Structure 1
């Protein structure tokens, strides 16, 4: 096999979140020089080994490295008891908590939220209960216009208030509206991860206008019958989802080992959705 099992890391505003944790994940983390301690949560799409066999090994390594921060794990309910038994057997004496959150793969629901991010599930169709995850960044504060701040002699102590939307009243009692003192916030970004799934014609409704979509593309079109049999998708089908959803960029992955050269999959996708890309170990994509 040419590729490692599935795992991705999403970075947003300095925080790291992992999606799936196949065997060999921690080796790839080391190669990528990703700090283990910065991973706040792991989101597991389904309970096939190539998406979760690396989790207990990574948790064990976290323990040996002296992690103290809670690790949150979001996954189908069946993993909860299995993971706890593994921790009890292999990881006695952990100095950090592993908090398990059961995910209903049949419903679209928010499973994680903080000040800057919302993560919700995307129901998928595979041979076992499976869901994808949609990461939506919350809109940030407006940017300070330094020239206008200086123009109205606004003290530095007021910067945070103005970033949060406050107006300014000058010495003459004139109100300077916030829009004149600030520039628009950066556009909120979004990323959708659709792991193992058969082609779902209406999936695009859950993905409309996301900036970047990862959609499995295990087979080329000539193996569509095999894709249907094993509840996987072709590159062409992934491209149809991307096009219907109006996404900004499509990432292809989870390739069958039968392909020594995946360019045929890329060509197939590009014929439908031009802004398509192959994924490979260690690659970094900006959203």
Structure 2
């Protein structure tokens, strides 16, 4: 079986060509190495870019992947350990230097606004765009964003400090219109009605065009759950149940399970156990400790419990 989602998904190209996709920018943990960068992911949904965590050097990773940072609209930060947000202030500053004027929406733990305010104050930096900050309750699942294409809900995690994961769900799609079946002179208003699932009726109530005859059902909406730093928490299972793709940290292997518990992290086996209990479609593991030089053993360990496990490979994009 392939180790990465990209190898499994033959049609996975760059995020710009996928309507709902994930690009791994960093899959390492607290200490960066020459092989792994600190945590950051880019979620593409429609024409919007969503950044999830922003470890040191994230803006360089975006440039390396030929992703335009100016297209970012939403940023979600899980917690205030440096490997998950030390790249944020430089990114925000670079967006300003690049002439950004569009509003940017930032979600994260209380205190993040104080950190950024202090950095910009002592450096006498002023942003030329509005940065909207919304603090996230670390204890209660909450709908944070109701976007035309998706909703975002917080996932309470258990780490050494307040830490939050995020659940991204596409909204149901409208049916696809089969325009080649319709006469060329059909009014545009009829097309919208058909896509909305409404039949077109004549003056005496007869059906002129049935929606089911001229549309095909859209694909099912997809979902992605991001579980950043956390110990093994079975209480997550109901909220994660049935998601298409779950990212769950796997900092350690089972031989360091005691160490994982002490520092509120998870092992590959524990991540797989959560995926199995939640009956998710696929599991992506990352946040690997720098003590490990090879990661295939993480995969082998997790797949003994949940076969549809894959490694988070930096630079790879996969359709969700």
TM interval, shorter chain, is: over 0.9
1:106 aligned residue: 139
Normalised to the residue count of structure 2, the TM-score between the two structures is 0.86
Q: Please give the alpha-carbon distance, in whole angstroms, between the structure 1 residues aligned to 2:192 and 2:136.
A: 37
The answer as to whether partners of 1:60 and 1:91 remain within 8 angstroms in 2 is no
2:196 aligned residue: 164
2:65 aligned residue: 32
The answer as to whether partners of 1:18 and 1:43 remain within 8 angstroms in 2 is yes
The answer as to whether partners of 1:109 and 1:121 remain within 8 angstroms in 2 is yes
2:284 aligned residue: 251
Match of 2:230 among 172, 197, 205: 197
Q: CA deviation at 1:204?
A: 1.2
What is the number of equivalent residue pairs in this alignment?
Answer: 286
Q: CA deviation at 1:173?
A: 4.9
| Alignment deviations for residues 217-267 of structure 1 (CA, whole Å, 9 cap, x no partner) | 011111100000000000000001111111111001000111110111000
1:240 aligned residue: 273
* Structure 1, unaligned runs of 5 or more: none
2:26 aligned residue: none
Q: Please give the alpha-carbon distance, in whole angstroms, between the structure 1 residues aligned to 2:93 and 2:144.
A: 25
Question: Cα RMSD between the aligned structures?
Answer: 1.6
| Alignment deviations for residues 166-190 of structure 1 (CA, whole Å, 9 cap, x no partner) | 2112587521432232111221010
Match of 2:298 among 260, 265, 274: 265
Q: CA deviation at 1:160?
A: 2.0
Match of 2:186 among 151, 154, 159: 154
Match of 2:178 among 135, 145, 152: 145
2:12 aligned residue: none
More displaced 10-residue stretch of structure 1: 223-232 or 75-84: 75-84
The answer as to whether partners of 1:60 and 1:90 remain within 8 angstroms in 2 is no
Alpha-carbon spacing, 1:278–1:91, altered in 2? closer, same or farther (3 Å): farther
The answer as to whether partners of 1:23 and 1:53 remain within 8 angstroms in 2 is yes
More displaced 10-residue stretch of structure 1: 160-169 or 27-36: 160-169
Match of 1:9 among 42, 47, 63: 42
Match of 2:89 among 56, 64, 67: 56
Normalised to the residue count of structure 1, the TM-score between the two structures is 0.95
* Structure 2, unaligned runs of 5 or more: 1-32
Q: Please give the alpha-carbon distance, in whole angstroms, between the structure 2 residues aligned to 1:283 and 1:43.
A: 20
Match of 1:228 among 257, 261, 284: 261
The higher relative CO (CA closer than 8 Å, separation ≥ 6) is in 2
Query: Structure 1: which 4+ aligned runs deviate by more than 4 Å?
Result: 170-173
Q: Please give the alpha-carbon distance, in whole angstroms, between the structure 1 residues aligned to 2:108 and 2:204.
A: 59
Q: Please give the alpha-carbon distance, in whole angstroms, between the structure 1 residues aligned to 2:271 and 2:92.
A: 33
Give the 3-state SS of the residue equivalent to 2:319 in structure 1. Answer: coil
